[in-house]
């Protein structure tokens, strides 16, 4: 009656874990890639919409024969705002320490060094910041909507 094959699953003691093992390095890389674009998204979403001008009609030929640059700009702004919302949602699920490590790493106007972050969060060394940042990136990837940043190891 025991037809269950444990070879396809990770085991932890006598418990069978149904999720495959997380590839921490690849997952952190994905999280970093999203977080590194945050400042760019913020600049894009913060662009005032009043810059968009109504089209004018005249008899002169246009350099751009087709397409709608105003529409592309609006879509870019909306996409940036959606991405910002997803990032902020994931950040809201982080532990207190992990939140501040990522905040000082990716959300300040100017990126801070690990040494500067260690002083702000009151830890002894920048190596502690490295360790906490690695943990925070995994936690961020787990919290990111759709879990699209997670990478699983192949057996």
The whole domain housing 140 covers: 21-51+67-144
Q: What is the pLDDT of residue 9?
A: 52
Calculate helix-pair angle for 24-36, 69-91, nearest 10 degrees.
Answer: 130
Two structure tokens written together for 65: 């024969």
Report yes or no on 3 lying in a domain.
no
pLDDT band at 31 (very low <50, low <70, confident <90, very high): very high
Q: For 60-100, how does the pLDDT look when each residue is reduced to its tens digit (9 = 90+)?
A: 555 555 557 788 888 888 888 999 889 999 999 999 999 99
What's the pLDDT at 94? 93
Does residue 7 belong to any structural domain of this protein? Answer: no
Residue 151 is assigned to a structural domain of this protein: no
Nearest to 83 by CA among 1, 5, 146: 146
> Virtual CA dihedral for 69, 70, 75, 78, nearest 10 degrees?
140
Number of domains in the chain: 1
Q: H/E element holding 16?
A: strand 15-17
Under a CB-based contact definition with an 8 Å cutoff, are residues 84 and 45 in contact? yes
Domain-located, residue 109 = yes
């Amino acid at each position: 009656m025991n037809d269950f094959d444990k070879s396809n699953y990770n085991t932890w003691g006598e418990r069978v874990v149904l999720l495959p093992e997380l590839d921490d390095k690849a997952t952190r890389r994905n999280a970093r890639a999203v977080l590194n674009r945050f400042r760019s998204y913020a600049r894009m979403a913060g662009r005032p919409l009043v810059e968009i001008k109504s089209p004018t009609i005249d008899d002169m030929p246009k350099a751009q024969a087709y397409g709608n640059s105003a529409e592309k700009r609006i879509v870019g702004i909306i996409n940036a705002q959606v991405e910002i919302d997803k990032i902020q949602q994931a950040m809201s699920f982080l532990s207190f320490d992990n939140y501040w490590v990522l905040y000082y790493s990716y959300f300040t106007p100017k990126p801070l060094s690990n040494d500067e972050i260690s002083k702000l969060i009151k830890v002894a060394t920048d190596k502690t910041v490295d360790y906490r940042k690695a943990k925070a990136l995994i936690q961020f990837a787990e919290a990111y909507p759709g879990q699209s940043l997670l990478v699983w190891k192949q057996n």
